[in-house]
């Protein structure tokens, strides 16, 4: 004997038959029914049809709840139950309309999410670009400061070297003066012959005497006129010796 529950569904001119291992709940049955009757629809809220059955007095009784469903199963005559499905035109149209609205809402929500996601990605890309630019500016600023510090250090080293050269030059001049004062002959590599003019001649006389050579030295890049003049006086106007001395103290 077949103990499976057989349910015959009448919808207008069509008849369908379903078999269940055990009686389903009202909700499970409605879900099963809507899935087979309206496979392309997804109803939200009340279904667009009503379910009826004939009782022992041959009256059509509407089922709309779990309690009514269980009552029908309790008094069924056999394992075969015949149900009548009547579509509710207004409810069906409303359900389809709601379904369409839900679909549009989902599509709009999806579109909004895609736009928001695109905006978020663009914002992240913008932030990354700004962060990269900021790092590049920081690195450029650090490099500039480093170059400035190196240049400053080089200038300081040059200045210290310049002071050292001046110190050496002063020492050398002092030695030459001491030799001259003692009347000793200065070696040709350091001090030339005695000055070509009297030591009583004033500074202007030396400037006039060595004007052309002072100009030559100045144009050659040796722009310390007082130093050039002293060396010309010291080395009797020998400009080659003066240049050698200037180059040695650079």
Domains present along the chain, CATH in parentheses:
5-87 (3.10.20.90), 187-248 (no CATH)
Q: What is the DSSP letter of 190?
A: T
Q: Are strands 60-63 and 14-20 parallel, antiparallel or unpaired?
A: unpaired
Which helix (DSSP H) or strand (DSSP E) does residue 15 occupy? strand 14-20
Q: Which two tokens stand for residue 7?
A: 């349910």
The pLDDT score that the predictor gives to residue 45 is 53
- The pLDDT assigned to 139 comes to 92
Indicate the burial class of 95 (C-beta count within 10 angstroms; 0-12, 13-18, 19 or more): buried
The pLDDT score that the predictor gives to residue 117 is 92
- Average pLDDT, 10 consecutive residues per value, the chain (250 residues): 76 82 87 74 61 84 88 76 76 60 83 91 91 91 91 83 68 66 50 42 76 87 85 89 85
H/E element, 6: strand 5-11
């Amino acid at each position: 004997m077949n103990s499976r529950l057989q349910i015959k569904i009448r919808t207008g001119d069509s008849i369908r038959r379903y078999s269940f291992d055990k009686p389903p709940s009202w909700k499970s049955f409605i879900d099963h029914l809507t899935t087979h009757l309206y496979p392309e629809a997804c109803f939200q809220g009340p279904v667009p049809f009503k379910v009826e059955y004939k009782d022992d007095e041959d009256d059509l009784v509407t089922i709309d709840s779990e309690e009514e469903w269980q009552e029908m199963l309790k008094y069924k005559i056999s394992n075969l139950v015949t149900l009548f499905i009547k579509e509710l035109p207004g409810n069906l149209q409303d359900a389809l309309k709601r379904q369409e609205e839900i679909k549009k809402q989902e599509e709009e929500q999806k579109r909004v999410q895609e736009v928001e996601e695109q905006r978020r990605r663009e914002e992240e890309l913008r932030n990354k670009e700004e962060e990269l630019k900021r790092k590049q500016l920081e690195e450029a600023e650090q490099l500039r400061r480093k170059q400035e510090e190196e240049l400053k250090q080089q200038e300081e080293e040059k200045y210290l070297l310049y002071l050292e050269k001046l110190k050496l030059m002063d020492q050398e001049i002092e030695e030459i003066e001491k030799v001259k004062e003692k009347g000793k002959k200065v070696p040709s590599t350091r001090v030339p012959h005695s000055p070509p003019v009297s030591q009583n001649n004033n500074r202007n006389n030396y400037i006039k005497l060595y004007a052309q050579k002072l100009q030559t030295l100045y144009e050659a890049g040796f722009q310390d006129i007082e130093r050039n003049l002293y060396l010309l006086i010291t080395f009797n106007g020998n400009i080659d010796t003066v240049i050698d001395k200037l180059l040695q103290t650079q």
